[in-house]
Amino acid sequence: MAMMRLRREDPRVVGSFRLHRRLGAGGMGVVYLGSDRRGQRVALKVIRPDLAEDQEFRSRFAREVSAARRIRGGCTARLVAADLEADRPWFATQYVPGPSLHDKVAEEGPLPAAEVASIGAALSEGLVAVHEAGVVHRDLKPSNILLSPKGPRIIDFGIAWATGASTLTHVGTAVGSPGFLAPEQVRGAAVTPATDVFSLGATLAYAATADSPFGHGSSEVMLYRVVHEEPHLFDVHDALAPLVRACLAKDPEERPSTLQLSMRLKEIAAREAQGLQERRPPAQRSEQELDRPTGRLEGQYTEQSTRRTAGSSSRPSRSPGRRSTSSRPAPRTGGSQSRAPRSGSRSGQLPPGQGTNGRQASRSGVRTTSAGKAGKRRPANPRLLRQRLVVFVVVTLLVALGIAAAQGCQGPARGLGGTQSDTYDGAPARPVEASAP
């Protein structure tokens, strides 16, 4: 709600309330933003001086304020205080932060069907409490509905008894705004709760189309259309049009009650909200969520991921010059049995993406990794590499010693089977000389 600075002619204190800003002005008086000694903020309306001199207006004002005190409900602005005997009568209601329905539609345009139905359902419940207190609003319109963070609130209950104002029309004893008045108000007939139902229907049509259902024009033209012409509801949402048309019936007996209206609007709001959710595209999953398996392996995946993250955080960082072991070829999974790496799982656990027989886990309904993740390899275990290197060196040494031993045994074998003329240890044998007789 727009606030303006106080003018020179504006009072600074009214009753026990200190005034701070102007909230607006109308045919009945000026509305101020005030606060009491405890700091509670109120919307305080001071009646115009010319109306204050009208005794008939004072008596009507007193009856309406007394009725407003009896209203209980969350969809109304609670009456805080009033002084009917002051030179300029005034009353203070609970301050409701938020724009009016008129200002919201003027700035944002027509509202969605779900939002219109939700606002209408809350207003219908508020009117139930108002009518149970024996009060008829008589001037329900978009500017008298404030959209607070806690829901819509109805203001200016049945106290719009002004005469001669440009924004109000006085016909007999009926006062209201052209385009939102019920036909019985225009004719001067008695007002009933059905009168507020007509005004609520016109208000919902305005919220859905950003225009009055009876168009624009002078007060006389608007009043004639309300009584004799049908409302224009071509741009009203299909889900709301039949119910709004029923509210704008010329005969008050043909209009739905506020309780029926509340129930129907709640159903429409729920259905339209569900339709909006079904029409929304599904939320895109992140790449990490796409890689996460589902089903029976989901718990194993979570436990392994947690263990792998803890191990990587506690492992010392590698030197820049050391060759990465991630270039090792990935183990094949198409054989009869696949050997799970020791670094990623314990006994009885399966690595993500594999089944108990080495086949791909996608065959059992588990989500496989994306193509971008398929090329990644797990880092090899340094301890396993060292063990393999030691085994390789030991086997190589054993083979070399075996070859050397075999070659050393071949020389003596040839000497044992030869004559005295054969060589022995590489030296020629000496001839045996016969000794003298």
Nearest to 110 by CA among 200, 204, 213, 210: 210
C-alpha span between 83 and 89 (Å, rounded): 6
Q: Which of 271, 207, 209, 213 is nearest to 239 (CA)?
A: 271
Catalytic residue check, 139: yes
Tell me the CA distances in angstroms from 157 to 63, 138, 276, 426, one per residue in order. 12, 8, 35, 133
SS3 295: helix
Task: Tell me the one-letter amino acid at 225.
Answer: R
Contact between 132 and 196 (Cβ < 8 Å): no
For residue 45, say whether it is annotated as part of any ligand binding site: yes
> Which secondary-structure segment (H or E) carries 265?
helix 258-279
Q: Which of 36, 54, 139, 422 is catalytic?
A: 139
Q: Which two tokens stand for residue 405?
A: 């031993």
Q: Yes or no: say if 184 and 191 are a contact pair by the CB < 8 Å rule.
A: yes
Catalytic positions, written as ranges? 139
- Known binding residues for ATP are 45
